[in-house]
Amino acid sequence: MIAAFIRRCRQTGELSAAGAAALEHSIGPRMQIFGAREELFRPGDVQKTIYLVNAGIACQCSVLRDGRRQITSFLLPGDLFDVRAYLGMPFEHHVYTLSMLETMPLVLSDVTACGAGTSGLEEVLWRAVALHSAISREWVLNVGQRSAVERIAHLLCELFTRLQAVGLTFDNRCLLPLTQIDVAEAVGLTPVHVNRTLMSMTRSGCVTFHRGVLVIHDWERLAEIAGFDARYLQIEPTKPLSDSPSQATRRSATHCSHESR
């Protein structure tokens, strides 16, 4: 049920088997489902629950008065949001789903019930926050210093790695239900420029990103372009395989659309 989350917690060793069981027991039955492109929260909302993403993708987005939009983080399976809730603070940003989303409310009492202190859920929350703050810092760097190709490459590396950590990648590909517009809002570029850049990237043969499917043909090269170092994600970096032994998908760009169906 809440596989992604528990999987990640166990992996980093923060949650005991008992804790995992307790957690599954207590929050398992409370799943909530949302459709794609639904708004979950808007600025000013206050609520005391933290949500756990079980399946699907959502994002947090800040909007300027004149309509410029910036996605400030993606919420993938296994992620918690938003810690501000833990403190009863109002949101300053929008949270909306990008795909269908399965979510569980984590009530405060769960946190304490599973054994507060440094070995229970309390620590899980701390780690979640630390992770998100590391990601957020990396985004500042990404948007502040890197060029268009580098930004996009970095974002793709990050998302792929995070999905990999919760078992949602298959060899060198994964489902990533974002539009180019979403990518643009995440990396601070215009959709037009994202499109041109993505095209040239697939032409150069290292990634394909079409209709919600990301295929990484040459991880080494992509990571090199991005200057990607997975350590900040607190995940042991299991490199995805590149394309199967010299199938040489990189030679032609034209059949990308086949691969990514």
Residue 208: left (phi > 0), alpha (psi -120 to 50), or beta? Answer: beta
The CA distance from 190 to 192, in Å, is 5
Q: Which does 32 bind (CB under 5 to 8 A by kind): DNA, a copy of itself, none?
A: none
Tokens (6 digits) for 15: 């949650």
Q: How many residues does the chain have?
A: 261
Question: Residue from 2, 52, 78, 93 that binds a copy of itself (CB under 8 A)?
Answer: 93
Least Cβ distance, residue 211 to DNA (angstroms): 6
Q: Are the C-beta atoms of residues 53 and 78 closer than 8 Å to each other? A: yes
Q: Does 133 bind a copy of itself (CB under 8 A)?
A: yes
| 179 near DNA, judged by CB under 7 A | yes
Nearest approach, Cβ of residue 207 and DNA (Å): 12
State the residues that interact with a copy of itself by CB under 8 A: 60, 62, 64-65, 68-70, 72-73, 83-84, 86-87, 89-90, 92-93, 116-117, 123, 126-127, 129-130, 132-134, 136-141, 143-146, 187-188, 227, 229, 231-232, 234
Which residues are at the interface with DNA (CB under 7 A)? 147-149, 179-181, 188-193, 195-196, 198-199, 210-211, 257
